[in-house]
């Protein structure tokens, strides 16, 4: 009796492994590719049971950044640009901690000029 239990569990385990691999499906391979791997655009065609599917991919366009506004415009006539004021120019708002070199919570005119020069 003791000999049958390991044999039976071994048979069940191998049947499950074989059954899983027999029912697994492979992903369909691309039928054709009209672009090279390093190309900025590519088109791939797949054959599916429902018909042919064409996938076109193009990289997202590079964001365009408007020129930096004048310090006085961002500071609203004040001596520094706060985080609330920097929101009106998103590149500055995203880089506020880097632009505020002395970490006082405001960007002075000299800090702003240095940051604008770095952006070019």
Higher pLDDT, 27 or 118: 118
Higher pLDDT, 23 or 97: 97
Same domain, 55 and 75: no
Average pLDDT of the chain?
Answer: 82
Answer yes or no: is 13 within a domain: no
Q: Domain range spanning residue 76?
A: 71-119
Question: Which tens digit of pLDDT belongs to each residue from 34-85?
Answer: 444 455 678 889 999 999 999 888 888 888 888 999 999 999 989 999 999 9
Answer yes or no: is 38 within a domain: yes
Answer yes or no: is 49 within a domain: yes
**Residue of 60, 112, 111 lying closest to 89 (CA atoms):** 112
Answer yes or no: is 56 within a domain: yes
Compute the distance between CA of residue 81 and CA of residue 91 in angstroms, rounded to an integer. Answer: 13
Compute the distance between CA of residue 3 and CA of residue 52 in angstroms, rounded to an integer. Answer: 54
Answer yes or no: is 20 within a domain: no
- pLDDT confidence tier of residue 22, bands split at 50, 70 and 90: low
Q: What percent of the chain has pLDDT over 90?
A: 49
Compute the distance between CA of residue 104 and CA of residue 79 in angstroms, rounded to an integer. Answer: 13
Compute the distance between CA of residue 96 and CA of residue 86 in angstroms, rounded to an integer. Answer: 8
pLDDT at 24: 55
Task: Please determine, for residue 32, whether its predicted confidence score (pLDDT) is greater than 60.
Answer: no
Compute the distance between CA of residue 100 and CA of residue 29 in angstroms, rounded to an integer. Answer: 52
Task: Please determine, for residue 13, whether its predicted confidence score (pLDDT) is greater than 80.
Answer: no
């Amino acid at each position: 009796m003791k000999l049958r239990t390991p044999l039976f569990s071994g048979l069940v385990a191998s049947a499950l492994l074989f059954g899983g691999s027999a029912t697994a499906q492979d992903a369909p391979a691309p039928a054709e590719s009209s672009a090279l791997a390093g190309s900025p655009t590519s088109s791939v065609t797949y054959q599916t049971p429902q018909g042919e599917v064409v996938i076109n991919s193009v990289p997202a366009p590079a964001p365009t950044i408007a020129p930096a506004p004048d310090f006085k415009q961002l500071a609203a006539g004040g001596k520094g640009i706060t985080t609330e004021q920097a929101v009106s120019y998103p590149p500055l708002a995203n880089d506020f901690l880097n632009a505020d070199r002395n970490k006082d919570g405001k960007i002075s005119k000299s800090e702003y000029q240095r940051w604008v020069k770095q952006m070019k």
